[in-house]
Structure 1
Amino acid sequence: MKIKDIKGKKVTVMGLGLHGGGLGIARFFAKHGAYVLATDIKPANELKATIAKLKGLKIKYVLGQHRLEDFVNADLVMQNPGVPENSKYLLVAKEHKIPIETDLGLFFDWCPAPIVGVTGTKGKSTTASLIAAMLGQVYDDVFLAGNNRTSVLEILPDIVSNDIVVLELSSWQLAGMRSHKKSPQVAVFTNIYPDHLNRYDSLRQYIQDKKVIFKWQKPDDILILNYDDNVVRNFAKEAQGKVCFYSLTDLALVSDRDDLLARAKIGAFLQGKKIFYGSRKHKVCQSKDFSLRGKHNIANILAAISVVKLAYQAPSRTIRQALRHYKPLSGRLEVVARKQEVRYINDTCATMPEATIAALKSLNKQNIILLAGGAAKGLSFQKLAKSIVKRVKMLILLTGSATDQLEKKVRKELVKQGKELKIVIVDSMDLAVNTAHQEAVSGDVVLLSPACASFGMFKHEFDRGDQFIKAVKSLK
């Protein structure tokens, strides 16, 4: 299907949602002359803000339910990434041979510009934004989109062939690309950890969706891999394109002892406080050139440098300039306030235990009041419990389906280590922040890094972060 074919088509948009993706899909098709029906199981009052942004467009709404007829009497069904493949409504559409598409799949068909795609369990948002920032120092038109609360179709009309598109890609989005059999010309894979096991039957299934990012690459395409992640490193054996590794260790020291590395290109690597590219002869920058905290963020910088150096020959001078001006993304170790010598940090995007562990390590202190807990994703809290006992002075847990499990793991670890830790369970963000404020003393850090999903108490993870910021700002 081409864009000109949209006009007059009956399009069912499944999953209007609160994040902006469904909104963007509905708006794109309505503006191109389709008869759009947007359906969501959420009632109209919960979707008020989304619907308001679509005012003036000819869109029919079926809210608070899905109807089978809307998936049969359609020319096209647009699947929101949050909708699982085994939805009975999608199965009915397939039975009636109604085409099912995702915005990302269509974007790859229609985008005239080269695409840099970034995936991984952690770090993909920061890595993608770093790549865009570095390329923005050299090229006039660089578009950043993907898994960032807007539909990629929204930027499509503005893109021409000599632009560059950088996409952050989730496993769900990549799954929707299978039928198109396309991968980005430059693919970046940051790491793999167990995640979304409340939706996937196994870690293997999750990884298979992630691997779509390089599955259909061509010989001249580029695959950037994290050498430090054993699973990701071995993806080089399946690569169709040119492989480049980055690492927090000195790759020059091991290149002659590793067959995988010997056959690949050496990307960016860390030696002490300096970052090199290709060899120790080519220094790119050093730690004083950036303010991002933690080794996980240095890894993100290494990935971004590898992309812009190998694929776009970006000068080191412009990379340093981009790093000096780069600001952390909202919800990722974001310092939102300093009150009475206490720092308040919003890390709401830490929706898995490993992300919270990385946040705790990056602060490198034992004066942390941690706000955690929430909805379950089928993940283990064993390692996080050890990190909490080691680094946290007080734990405030937000109620949710995973909170009991996290509390039990922490209490078990406390007994094992013979330590004590004050643990409080609260049912609102206001109460969590106020409790932390009452306990905090000069030099402390109040860290929201939940290690869990947000659904239940909050609309989504960004709503959780917004409520944290609002509560912090209201402190006396």
Structure 2
Amino acid sequence: MNFAGKRVLIMGLGLQGGGVGVARFFAQKKAKVLVTDLKTKKELASSLALLADLPITYVLGKHREVDFKNTDLVIRNPDVARDSPYLAIARRYGALVEMDESLFLRLCPSLKNVIGVTGTRGKTTTAHLIGKIFGKAGYHTLLGGNLPGVATLSLLDKITSKTRVVLELSSWQLQGLEADKISPHIAVITNIYPDHLNRYKNMGDYIADKKIIFKYQKKEDFLVLNAENKITKSFAKEAKSKIIWFCKSDVPGTIRTSFKLRGSHNLENLAAACMTAKIFKIDDKICQKATSEFYGIPYRLEEIRTVNGVTYVNDTTSTTPVASLAALRSYEGRPIILIAGGASKNLDLTELGQEISKKVKAVILLEGSATSELEKAITAKKLILGRFNNFKKAILTAKNKAVPGDVVLLSPGCASFGMFKNEFDRGEQFNNVVFSLKTKTS
């Protein structure tokens, strides 16, 4: 597809780098690029700086109807609702509305080379594990989709006939595949749990978007499913493709013992990656070598530093209670000072509150729309050291409570909005404070 001279409107630049990559892709293809975002120039300063060398027009702090009436193509950011009235205007005036990933799949030289990974938890880790295995097996491997700093369209110029593309796909990104009736050749679903109910009307709508990853597969395609998750098990009867099941017990002992990530949930991720490799007849020895060299992804149970015998763990991407539960269980037997709470996603926090009451030495709560509910769910009130709207004070309170052997665990179980720009901002601030802590001298 030739984009030279085409009017391309990018709806939502964002701060994670994906929008920047999309804007750069179209500008370099000689399209007439207009970026519109409800955030202001000041709020988007870091993203705008990365595009300063390109001829791009900006409409910031607002959207204008006229821009949507006079464009050939709209690229929708995942944070933009699919029923946005501006998108309806664009369609009414003849524009094509796509997302980064949907247009990529339309233009990809071979869908047979694409592996899509989704799920409520574990999709990032699983996508990276698959990428490591395929790379070790000698394939030219590219990762894209729901990854900070990566525009999936930018991968098009790097693909060869031997390339394997691994896409992490959120429910919002999967929405974009619906209009084109397209699913990846290999679809991997790690698990499904309640999530994003602040944006979805109900769990059924959320699951429906997740199912798009296999909805348009054909009989020669593959669907890799978690045999230990009730919801993913139910998908098998709807699939037209070949079903490949995975569970933790599938992981060979040699691979399991050399795997470095904590937690039962990470064994599930490992199992999903290994079963995906089997579709391509990749030997277990290659899987073992690749996964033994995998040290995890930033902001996911990431052990940042040990200071004065206290281990500081950054699990900021834990934005659901099920993720925080997995984090707590990953440090079973260690005294935990938990930093939790934040913005609501309309998820039930009861079980998390009960587990906190049983498993932690102390808990520090970050202010947000979900925090009162979480505080109420924590039955052992004496564990609560306070509620904080100053993150540094919260971390220092944890530090002052900790003794050698303790774990200070940032695993909020809630969204970040309010106190932070996003969960990555929350994670970066945590790291900055932890790295500023002084080591005691004897």
Report the TM-score, using the length of structure 1 for normalisation.
Answer: 0.89
Q: What residue identity is the alignment partner of 1:27?
A: R
Tell me how far 1:366 sits from its aligned partner.
5.2
Q: Deviations over 1:437-469 (max 9, x none)?
A: 111001100000011111221111111101000
* Seq. identity, %: 47
Q: Does the 8 Å CA contact 2:337/2:361 hold for their aligned counterparts? A: yes
Q: Following the alignment from structure 2 to structure 1, what is the Cα–Cα distance between the partners of residues 334 and 368?
A: 26
Q: Does the 8 Å CA contact 2:334/2:405 hold for their aligned counterparts? A: no
Q: What residue identity is the alignment partner of 1:230?
A: K
Q: Does the 8 Å CA contact 2:255/2:291 hold for their aligned counterparts? A: no
Q: How does 1:287-298 map to 2 (within 5 A)?
A: 287-298=256-267
The partner residue of 2:374 within 403, 406, 410 is 406
Q: Following the alignment from structure 1 to structure 2, what is the Cα–Cα distance between the partners of residues 316 and 356?
A: 31
Q: Following the alignment from structure 2 to structure 1, what is the Cα–Cα distance between the partners of residues 66 and 346?
A: 34
Q: What residue identity is the alignment partner of 1:17?
A: G
Q: Deviations over 1:133-157 (max 9, x none)?
A: 1111112410111100221012221
Q: Deviations over 1:100-136 (max 9, x none)?
A: 1111111001112410111010010001100111111
Partner residue of 1:263?
Answer: none
Q: Secondary structure at the match of 2:42?
A: helix
Q: Deviations over 1:351-409 (max 9, x none)?
A: 10000000000110351111111111111101101110111111111111111111122
Q: Secondary structure at the match of 1:223?
A: strand
The partner residue of 1:73 within 67, 70, 75 is 70
Q: Deviations over 1:49-81 (max 9, x none)?
A: 101101111100111111111111111111001
Q: Secondary structure at the match of 1:46?
A: coil
Q: What residue identity is the alignment partner of 1:72?
A: K
Partner residue of 1:281?
Answer: none
Q: What residue identity is the alignment partner of 2:207?
A: I
Is the aligned partner of 1:232 residue 2:232? yes
Q: Does the 8 Å CA contact 1:105/1:177 hold for their aligned counterparts? A: yes
Partner residue of 2:437?
Answer: 475
Tell me how far 1:428 sits from its aligned partner.
2.2
Partner residue of 2:23?
Answer: 26
Q: Does the 8 Å CA contact 2:139/2:162 hold for their aligned counterparts? A: no
Structure 1 range deviating more: 165-174 or 284-293 = 284-293
Report the TM-score, using the length of structure 2 for normalisation.
Answer: 0.96
Q: Following the alignment from structure 2 to structure 1, what is the Cα–Cα distance between the partners of residues 124 and 85?
A: 32
The partner residue of 2:401 within 431, 439, 449 is 439
Is the aligned partner of 1:301 residue 2:270? yes
Partner residue of 1:84?
Answer: 81
Is the aligned partner of 1:131 residue 2:99? no
Tell me how far 1:161 sits from its aligned partner.
2.1
Tell me how far 1:287 sits from its aligned partner.
3.1
Q: Following the alignment from structure 1 to structure 2, what is the Cα–Cα distance between the partners of residues 439 and 425?
A: 15
Q: What residue identity is the alignment partner of 2:220?
A: D
Tell me how far 1:317 sits from its aligned partner.
1.0
Partner residue of 2:420?
Answer: 458
Tell me how far 1:190 sits from its aligned partner.
0.9
Partner residue of 2:317?
Answer: 349
Structure 1: unaligned runs, 5 residues or longer: 250-268, 270-274, 277-283
Tell me how far 1:286 sits from its aligned partner.
4.4
- Structure 1 stretches of at least 4 aligned residues deviating more than 3 Å after TM superposition: none
Q: Does the 8 Å CA contact 1:366/1:391 hold for their aligned counterparts? A: no
Structure 2: unaligned runs, 5 residues or longer: none
What count of residue pairs does the alignment treat as equivalent? 435
Tell me how far 1:324 sits from its aligned partner.
1.3
Q: Deviations over 1:185-238 (max 9, x none)?
A: 111111111101111111000101100111111111111100001110121111
Q: Secondary structure at the match of 1:401?
A: coil
Q: Following the alignment from structure 1 to structure 2, what is the Cα–Cα distance between the partners of residues 60 and 404?
A: 43
The partner residue of 1:316 within 272, 284, 304 is 284
Partner residue of 1:122?
Answer: 121
Q: Secondary structure at the match of 1:420?
A: helix
The partner residue of 1:360 within 288, 306, 328 is 328
Q: What residue identity is the alignment partner of 1:71?
A: F
RMSD of aligned residue pairs (Cα, Å): 1.2
Partner residue of 1:14?
Answer: 11
Q: Following the alignment from structure 2 to structure 1, what is the Cα–Cα distance between the partners of residues 49 and 383?
A: 46
